[in-house]
Amino acid sequence: MIVYGTGYSPYVRKVLVALAEKGVAYEHRPLMFHDPDPAFQAASPLGKIPAIDDGGFLLADSTAILFYLERRQPAPALIPTEAQALGRALWFDKFGDTELFGKLIVPFVERVLKPNRMGKPTDEAAVAKALDKDLPPLFDYLESEIDGAFLVDDAFGIADISIATGFYNFGLAKAEIDAARWPRLAAYVEAILARPSFQTAMAARKG
């Protein structure tokens, strides 16, 4: 299996974590989005990352890929089958991808991408807005939902991958969760990012 997309992307990291958890071998090609590589463009018609080529089967979008992997390699399970657990897992996957990520990535964009990759100055006002206004309500919600090691069914899965993945970029931007204010969230993220699968996926940013 070929995985397209830079390891700096939380969405690509979702796929790399799932592959590591399931023990599926892959080749990582760390392309940026909209890369002109013809094979990547064939796998991702919109030029977004991640995308995969699994023996000629082409697919883009991190959630779609995780569902595909779940059927291709069922064990260990990352997506629950019981109705309520599945609904909750899909909710956290959406929450992580669409609500949390856009706010969580701001310090990374401003402090890492813009000065180092784009030659633009950091907008610390944007960082302050994210840290002081936009993220606290989301952190409050997650703090209220965490009741154990994992978010759903007392088992590691897609919900944990989707929620935790962006916090790595958050840390690269020298931002952190206030453990005094959000102790459960801080401990949860630390534990999830310490998993071997996450450690392997996070190392892929060097590629």
How high is the pLDDT of residue 22?
Answer: 98
- Written as tens digits, the pLDDT of the chain (207 aa) is 999 999 999 999 999 999 999 999 999 999 999 999 999 999 999 999 999 999 999 999 999 999 999 999 999 999 999 999 999 999 999 999 999 999 999 999 999 988 887 889 889 999 999 999 999 999 999 999 999 999 999 999 999 999 999 999 999 999 999 999 999 999 999 999 999 999 999 988 654
Residues 132, 65: contact at Cβ < 8 Å? no
Residue 151 neighbours by CB under 8 Å, 6+ apart: 88, 89, 92, 145, 157, 159, 160, 163
Residues 43, 52: contact at Cβ < 8 Å? yes
Q: pTM score, two decimals? A: 0.94
How high is the pLDDT of residue 207?
Answer: 43
How high is the pLDDT of residue 122?
Answer: 86
Model pLDDT for residues 24-63, shown as the tens digit of each residue: 999 999 999 999 999 999 999 999 999 999 999 999 999 9
Counts for the chain of helices (H) and strands (E), in that order? 12, 4
Length of the chain: 207
How high is the pLDDT of residue 146?
Answer: 98
How high is the pLDDT of residue 185?
Answer: 98
How high is the pLDDT of residue 118?
Answer: 82
Q: What is the signed CA dihedral for 152, 157, 158, 164, rounded to 10 degrees? A: 90
How high is the pLDDT of residue 36?
Answer: 95
How high is the pLDDT of residue 205?
Answer: 66
